[in-house]
Amino acid sequence: MTPMGFGARAGHLLLIALLAVIFGGLALAVLSLPSESPGLSAQVEAAMGETGVTHPVTAVLLDFRGYDTLLELVVLLLALAGVWSLAEGSPFADRRPGTMLDRLSRFYAPLMLLVAGYLLWAGSASPGGAFQAGAVLGAAGVVLTLTGWRLPVALAGWPLRLILVSGVSIFILVGLVAFFFGAVWLDYPLEWAGALILLIEAIASLAIGATLAALFLGGRPEAHP
Amino acid sequence: MDTAVWLQSGLTAPILLPLTGALLAFVMRRRATPIGLLSVVALLGAVILQVPSLFADGPQRLAIGGWGAPLGVDLYADGLSVAMLLMTAVVGLGISLYAAAYFRDTPARGQAFWPLWLLLLTALNALFLSADIFNLYVTLEILGLSAVALTAIAGGADALVGAMRYLLVSLLGSLAYLLGVALLYHAYGTVDIALLAERIAAEPATWAAMGLMSAGLMLKTALFPLHFWLPPAHASAAAPVSAALSALVVKGSFYLLVRLWIELFGEIAGGVATLLGLLGAAAVLWGSIQALIQTRLKLLIAYSTVAQIGYLFLAFPLAVGTGATAWSGALYLALSHALAKTAMFLVAGNLLRFGGHDRIADLDRVVQRLPLSMAAFALAGVSIMGLPPSGGFIGKWLLLEAALTEGRWGWAIVIILGGVLAATYVFKVVGYAFTQSENPHQAQPVPATMEWVAFALAVAAVLMGLIVSQPLIVLEIGNPFGIQAEVAVQ
What are the residues whose beta carbons fall under 8 Å from the beta carbon of A20, sequence distance 6 or more? Answer: none
Task: State yes or no: ipTM above 0.95.
Answer: no
Structural domain for B379, as ranges: 293-490
DSSP assignment letter at B11: G
SS3 assignment, position A53: coil
Residues in chain A with CB shorter than 8 Å from the CB of B148 are: 82
User: Within a domain: residue B409?
Assistant: yes
Of the two residues B212 and A39, the one the predictor is more confident about is B212
All residues of chain B having their beta carbon less than 8 Å from the beta carbon of residue A81 are 26, 112, 115-116, 119, 149
CB contact under 8 A, B26 and A164: yes
Question: Model's pTM, two decimal places?
Answer: 0.95
> How much of chain B, in percent, has pLDDT values that exceed 90?
77
* Count of other CB atoms within 10 angstroms of residue B322: 23
CB–CB contact A25 B186 (8 Å): no
The answer as to whether B4 is a domain residue is: no
- A66 to chain B: which residues are within 8 Å by CB? 64-65
pLDDT, tens only, B345-355: 999 999 999 98
A178: DSSP letter: G
Q: What is the pLDDT of residues B24-41, one digit of tens each?
A: 999 999 999 999 999 999
Q: Which amino acid is at B42?
A: A
Q: Please state the φ and ψ torsions of residue A214, each to the nearest 5 degrees.
A: -65, -35
Top residue of A22, A28, A84, A185 to mutate, by most chain B CBs within 10 Å, is A185
In whole angstroms, give the CA distance from residue A17 to residue B355.
49
* A184–B186 CB contact, under 8 Å: no
Q: Answer yes or no: are the C-beta atoms of B245 and B147 closer than 8 Å.
A: yes
The answer to whether A78 touches A211, Cβ cutoff 8 Å, is no
Name the minimum distance, in Å, from the CA of B188 to any CA of chain A: 7
- Give a yes or no: residue B320 inside a domain: yes
**Predicted confidence (pLDDT) per residue in A79-94, tens digit:** 999 999 887 666 555 6
The confidence band for B339, taking pLDDT boundaries of 50, 70 and 90, is very high
Closest CB to B23: pick one of A28, A67, A165. A165
Q: How far is the alpha carbon of A97 from chain B, nearest alpha carbon, in Å?
A: 32
The per-residue pLDDT for range B206-263, each reduced to its tens digit, is 999 999 999 999 999 999 999 999 999 999 999 999 999 999 999 999 999 999 999 9
Tell me the residues of chain B between 143 and 182 that have a Cβ less than 8 Å away from chain A: 145-146, 148-149, 152-153, 179
Enumerate the residues of chain B whose CB falls inside 8 A of the CB of residue A155. none
What is the model's pLDDT at position B383?
95
For residue A162, the chain B residues in CB contact (below 8 A) are 27
Q: What is the mean pLDDT of residues A123-149?
A: 87
Smallest CA–CA distance, residue B340 to chain A, in Å, is: 28
Q: In which band, very low, low, confident or very high, does the pLDDT at B297 lie, cut at 50, 70 and 90? A: very high
- From chain A, the residues in CB contact with B122 under 8 A are 74
Among candidate residues B376, B370, B400, the one with its CA nearest the CA of residue B386: B400
Q: Which of B157, B210, B220 is nearest to B187 (CA)?
A: B210
Dump pLDDT digits (tens) for B6-25.
667 889 999 999 999 999 99
Report B:55-74 residues touching A (Cβ under 8 A): 62-67, 70-73
Calpha distance A155→A151 (Å, rounded):
7
**pLDDT at position A93:** 59
Based on the number of CB atoms within 10 Å of its own CB, is B420 exposed (0-12), middle (13-18) or buried (19 or more)?
exposed
Q: What is the mean pLDDT of residues B278-305?
A: 96
Which residues in chain B have their CB less than 8 angstroms from residue A79's CB? 145
In chain B, which residue's Cα lies nearest the Cα of A75? B142
Does position A1 have pLDDT exceeding 80, yes or no? no
Chain B, residues 404-463, CB within 8 A of chain A, namely none
Residue B172 placed within a domain = no
Q: Do A71 and B65 touch (CB under 8 A)?
A: no
Interface A–B counts its CB contacts (< 8 A) at: 152
Q: How many domains does chain B have?
A: 1
What are the CA-CA distances from residue B3 to residues A179, A182, A199, B129, B144 (Å)?
A: 12, 10, 29, 20, 36
Is the pLDDT at A2 greater than 60? The verdict is: no
Instruction: Give the closest of A32, A158, A187 to B205, CB-based.
Output: A32
Interface residue of A71, A83, A160 to substitute, partner B, most B CBs within 10 Å: A71
The residue ranges of every structural domain in chain A are 7-37, 41-217
> Is residue B147 situated within a structural domain?
no
Tell whether B2 lies on the interface with A, counting CB pairs under 8 A.
yes
In a domain, B95, yes or no: no
pLDDT digits (tens, 9 = 90+) for A56-77: 888 888 889 999 999 999 999 9
Q: Is B479 exposed, middle or buried (0-12, 13-18, 19+ CB in 10 A)?
A: middle
B207 touches chain A (CB under 8 A): yes
Q: Is B201 on the interface with A (CB under 8 A)?
A: no
Residue-level pLDDT at A147 = 82
Q: Report, as an integer, the average pLDDT of B64-69.
A: 87
